Amino acid sequence: MPASLRRRPALPNALRALRHRDFRLFWLGAFFSFVGSWVQTTGQQWLVYDITRSEQALGLITFIGASPMFFLSPFGGWLADRSNKRAVLIFASAGLSLSAFILAASVQFGFVSFWLIALLAFFGGCISVIEIPTRQSIISEIVPPEDLANAVPLNAMTFNSARIVGPAIGGAVLQYLGVAPCYLLNGISFAAIIFAALAIRADLRSTGDRSASLRESLFEGISYVFSNPAFRTVVSMMMTTAVFGLFYISQVSPLATTVLHADESGYAALFISTGVGAVLGILTLAVISHNPRKGLAPLVSMVGVGSSLIALSFCSQLWQAMICMGLMGLFGSGQMVGTNTTLQYFSPYHLRGRVISVHAWSLAGLSPVGALAFGTVSERLGLMTAFRIGGGVVLVVGVIALLFGKSLRKLGSNSNEPTETEEPVTEASIA
């Protein structure tokens, strides 16, 4: 048989990064791990609201879990650039798995409490400080530069596809088996990403400059981001959305039970709707990943986030809220993944972990601040009023950025091609 007939059929352009063996393994491992994480999130939000009946408590758990990211994110990026990424990913996943097993046992044997959940949320947040920039910076080491803009949204699709599958499983498990199995499934799911980390053939050892001091290394990434007008704009936009827009995800339980009078299945449906929208948004980004104008996606998406959150504030029926949650997922993923793609695609290879850590701080570090603040606003002024205030701020800032963010709109012209992204990918990483 001619060799040409034995070749594997070409993947569609939107999936071209999946032709690389290491990326496929990483993609699948991350997907199954994220499914478990969303199963736990579904069960844990229900549990916390059931224990406390407080929107503020939901925001507080989110804040406690992400507070390490707020304070230590640059340090995590520094470690990601200097550490063996394979080892970090394995040990971090093992630690998160242990935390899930402890919570499963606490629920099953009756010693669970709000403060135990908060303590283990803080523990998980400390691990995430280095796990998130490490996991995201691995992508640029297992795909070649020409496929990086396609790999980033495909990688994000694992998280957002899991937002469909995880809450569906979590809602069913919660309704028929209770909360403890939600934690148990999450603990088991980390085996997938550990296996993927062990199976990747690419060299994931340190790429950072070990001669630089800690202080110099930490501030090098931050100063690089905020000295670049386009990067400064896109990160500032993400900070605004993180504080004023993304708090809605911590308020799904009171939205479902108090406003919409839904049961566990309706509660899970809201999560699933967000995931469906997010996947559609990411698939759109993957299809247009060849477009050099990377800055347009976060600009347009931010306006969509603000508009959708305002629309959500006027919903009184489950189906209406599902549509708006789907739009929030679509535009929210567009801004988050568009920002991540922009930063990874145009940042120097040796700074990528620290640049990603700035993005992680703007997203994961600041969103709990919004969750805590708007949890308090929800209790005092009402959940729908909180949605209107947050959505209004995001919409106004998004429109201003779209109209006046010239450097970000033009990012991708010939004078703004990526620099130092040409780190080779070994043949062993391509199947």
- Give the model's pLDDT for residue 156: 78
The Cα 25–Cα 412 span in angstroms is 30
Read off the tokens for 368.
């709990």
405 vs 217, more confident: 405
Share of the chain above pLDDT 70, in %: 87
Single pTM value for the model: 0.74
The Cα 173–Cα 431 span in angstroms is 37
Q: Quick check: 133 and 353 in contact, CB under 8 A?
A: yes
Residue 211 has pLDDT above 60, yes or no: no
- Give the model's pLDDT for residue 416: 46
The arithmetic mean of pLDDT across residues 351-374, rounded, is 80
Confidence grade of residue 3 (pLDDT, cut at 50, 70, 90): very low
- Give the model's pLDDT for residue 353: 67
Confidence grade of residue 328 (pLDDT, cut at 50, 70, 90): very high
Confidence grade of residue 337 (pLDDT, cut at 50, 70, 90): confident
- Give the model's pLDDT for residue 26: 94
Residue 343 has pLDDT above 60, yes or no: yes
pLDDT digits (tens, 9 = 90+) for 137-176: 788 788 887 887 778 778 878 887 888 888 889 988 998 8
- Give the model's pLDDT for residue 425: 34
Report the amino acid identity of residue 333.
Answer: S
Confidence grade of residue 214 (pLDDT, cut at 50, 70, 90): low
Candidates 2.40.50.320, 2.40.50.100, 1.20.1250.20, 1.10.730.10; correct CATH number of 11-205+218-417? 1.20.1250.20
Could you count the other beta carbons within 10 Å of the beta carbon of residue 382?
A: 15
Residue 13 has pLDDT above 70, yes or no: no
The Cα 183–Cα 9 span in angstroms is 40
Mean of pLDDT over the chain: 84
Share of the chain above pLDDT 90, in %: 41
Which of 258, 301, 302, 254 lies closest to 280 in space, CA to CA?
301
Confidence grade of residue 292 (pLDDT, cut at 50, 70, 90): low
318 vs 271, more confident: 318
- Give the model's pLDDT for residue 99: 96
Report the amino acid identity of residue 144.
Answer: P
**Helix residue ranges, H only, 83-201:** 85-108, 114-142, 148-176, 180-199
The Cα 261–Cα 252 span in angstroms is 12
- Give the model's pLDDT for residue 427: 32
- Which among 121-130, 262-271, 286-295, 392-401 has the top mean pLDDT? 392-401
Residue 14 has pLDDT above 90, yes or no: no
The Cα 98–Cα 120 span in angstroms is 10
pLDDT digits (tens, 9 = 90+) for 53-76: 888 888 889 889 888 887 887 777
Could you count the other beta carbons within 10 Å of the beta carbon of residue 422?
A: 10
Read off the tokens for 183.
């934690």
Confidence grade of residue 97 (pLDDT, cut at 50, 70, 90): very high
pLDDT digits (tens, 9 = 90+) for 372-409: 899 889 989 999 999 999 999 999 999 999 998 888 87
Report the greatest alpha carbon distance in the chain.
73
The Cα 356–Cα 350 span in angstroms is 12
